[in-house]
Amino acid sequence: MLDPHGRILISRAEVARNAGVGRAAVSNWESRHADFPRSVRHNGREAFDATAVAAWLDGRIIPVNALRENEPEGLDYGSRFRSNLGLFGQDAVPPEREPGVEADTPGGRAARSLLARRGMLDSPETVIWLAIFLYARQRHPSEWAQIRENAFRAPDRWVFEDTWRSICEADPSFRDMSMPEPPVPASGSELVKLVDDAHELASAKAPHVGDRSPSAEIFTQLLDRSAEIQGRRAAEHFTPRAVVRLAVDTVVDASRRASSIYDPYCRTGEFLAEALSRLPPGPAGKVRVFGHNPNRTLWSLAQMNLRLHGVEPSIECSYWWNSHSTEKFDIVLANPPFNMRLPEGVVERGDWRYGVPPTRNGNYAWLQFIVSRLGKGGRAAVVMPGNAGFTTNRREQEIRAAMVEDGAVECVIGLPSNLFPGTGIPVSLWLLREPSGQPGDVLVIDVTDLGTTLNRTQQTLSDETGKRIVRALDRWRHGGNIDEPGFSRAVPIADLRAAGHKLSPGVHVAPRPSDRDPPVERIDDLLRRSALLVTQLRPAEDHVRWLVNQLEAHHANPTTVPLGELCGLKAGPSGSRLRSDLPPSDGVPVVLPRDLRDGEVVDHSGAGIPELTVSRFEGYRLEPGNVLVSRTVERGRVACVTEEQRGWLFSTGLIRLRVTSAEIIPDYLAHLLLSEACHEWMIRHTAGTVVGAITLPTLAKLPVPVVPLDEQEDLCRALNVVAEQARLYRRLASTTESLRQLLTNSLVAPPDEHPGAERTGT
């Protein structure tokens, strides 16, 4: 943002992001160096003069292990900061490409200008409103002229309201949706100017391509940036760009005409927009676009996105099971919600070609529905959780087997973990086709170990890996041999049957050549992983220092509230009906006390109960944000439930806390319960003489220190980083042990297999 003196002001988070360091590092610089530029207050918020920060960073060399890809040794933080922010002077050269922005196209350059040239607030709401302004600027130019004129003399909120009103008047379908809340603080006039500049830059160098607007690419980049800023919260609304590109590349063939595309859970329309950008423009390539999206905000963004790409989409604001259409499509692309519980009546109403799916997990309902919508020669790419390929649930096994035997499954690609922000759940890409009625080989590709580090907690799929996958798929479709140890294999139907129709690539792909002869590549891989882990550990040190500073400035006497006033407490089923010795089962998973470790549900033992008996335990279902505590108050037996455990049950021996107060967030509560102080309090208040166990009325009296919500969020972010550091250390130790074992096995000769053999030598 610009202040009245013409200074470019940016937030602390933007200083950190553009310098490529943690937010805590900026706090360190400020506290340790008297000459670090002082912050100022602008529109009620803390901000820094970007030019002054850049000057202070000049000459401060970036350590070699902190350099990014393509950054030369000897680069200083000032050069990186100027390049990322767009403060290009005579001695600074803009980077060729900023992560997530295609800078080699006019739209990409315009997006870069919009996102970096003047500094952006670290607010996803601001970025979304920039996208809405861009849509209004492109689609309703006459109304935009009036908005621009009013922007510099009307209150900021009026600018947002006028823009939304113009969109709704031009398209009545938007009237049913409430206007998104304007970002605060934000200058409507400044955002209007930014959008005008970016639009002009894109339009001057990139005329319309077919019906596609030059603003389409900028809109896409804005959606990506919003997801980047939101982090974990974005996982359920956005699909990572690398996954979108790969999915589209596997089913869209520019030489093959496609007249219709469908996404049954289209989020912001990212799959559909990417597919449209790959198909030939013009009347001959006119494509009909369909979709479903139950979220009204995302529905509206998808409508805008696709209209800027030159189509009038037909998107219903609902789930597919609320529609009566039976239309078939040439291409289907989807990233449906993982493991979602199906609403009552969906299973009963469905026409299931391969078998009735379980209601507690909708993965195979989505897969069957998508197959049913494929027209003649149709193809589909569907993102699925990794366990969908090897789940042992009886009904899901039978459906998977029937799909394979019907020729509906073409390929399954195992993708790297941590592709989605905030979750490490493994994912795979299923390529489906119109059923042939005949079983055949299924191609499996395993790139689980080929992820490229994007940041401390997230990976991506490199362009080269994506191209390698597409090349292998193309060779296979044309009859070529693609069996490659450690990467791909065409699995014969006989082998699939022998493996219980499991579709996990790791089960079928042959391992890489023996590590023993020679082990160099494997050793290099382990050394690379070790170096990467060491690099990932460094940013956590800054968060630790920030935590120390934060704790020193923390409230000396925070308000304490009894736990029972903040949460609803419920103990696991009595009578040992869900006890700790439950055997492994393919039914509904049950979380046991031994599954809790340091804030997470880990190493799930597979315990479960048959679906026929689950109705008796409906009151013990878990939801994301629930906190679980062991009744025997063992240290570390606390966990915050995630989306992965939605619908699971919790066992006898556990207490579920369901936050009911707006004064506290679940992550903060979980961290508190892991503290030594809380553990000692619970130990002192346990009842029983043999095995101490805390009662619900007693636990409800636990005094909980409550601080403001923004402080809770800051503390959780820092503590989560420290927890991740502990996990990284464990991974580093495991990797180092693997390296030791490999070196030992490779360099030390094994014992002679023939005891009586004599040793020979010269």
pLDDT in tens, 143-157: 777 777 777 666 666
φ, ψ at 262 (rounded to 5°): -140, 140
Indicate the pLDDT class of residue 90, thresholds 50, 70 and 90.
Answer: very low
pLDDT score, position 50:
83
584 prior amide bond cis, ω within 30:
no
SS3 annotation, 373-429: CEEEEEEEEEEEEHHHHCCCCHHHHHHHHHHHHCCCEEEEEECCCCCCCCCCCCEEE
Contact 638, 599 (CB under 8 A): yes
**Percentage with pLDDT > 70 across the chain:** 73
Q: What is the chain's percent helix, strand, coil content, to nearest 5? A: 45, 15, 40
How crowded is the C-beta side of 699, counted as CA atoms within 13 Å? 23
Per-residue burial over 10-49, b = 16 or more CB atoms within 10 Å of its CB, e = otherwise:
bbbebbbbbbbbbbbbbbbbbeeeeebbebeebeeeebbb
Residues 6+ apart with CB under 8 A from 490: 441, 442, 443, 476, 482, 483
Task: Report how far residue 375's alpha carbon sits from residue 497's, in angstroms, rounded to the nearest whole number.
Answer: 27
Confidence of residue 209 (pLDDT cuts 50, 70, 90): very low
Give the model's pLDDT for residue 535. Answer: 62
Cα first-last separation, the chain:
80
Residue 117 has pLDDT above 60, yes or no: no
From 111-120, 576-585, 592-601, 667-676, the region with the lowest mean pLDDT: 111-120
Peptide linkage before 518 cis (omega within 30 of 0): yes
Tokens 């994007």 label which residue?
Answer: 454
pLDDT for residue 380 is more than 90:
yes
The pTM for the full model equals 0.58
Question: What residues form DSSP beta bridges with 699?
Answer: none
The closest of 648, 653, 572 to 609, measured between CA atoms, is 648
Q: What is the pLDDT of residue 271?
A: 94
Task: Give the ranges where 4-76 is alpha helix by DSSP (H).
Answer: 12-19, 23-32, 50-57
Nearest of 18, 11, 335 to residue 185 by alpha carbon: 11
pLDDT above 70: residue 171? yes
* Residues 631, 693 contacting (CB under 8 angstroms): yes
CA distance 595 to 245: 36
Categorize the per-residue pLDDT at 422 as very low, low, confident or very high, splitting at 50, 70 and 90.
low
3-state SS, residue 126: helix
Range name among 215-219, 421-425, 746-750 with the lowest pLDDT average:
746-750
Rama region for 315: left / alpha / beta (φ>0; ψ in -120 to 50; rest): beta
Residue with tokens 């870069």: 112
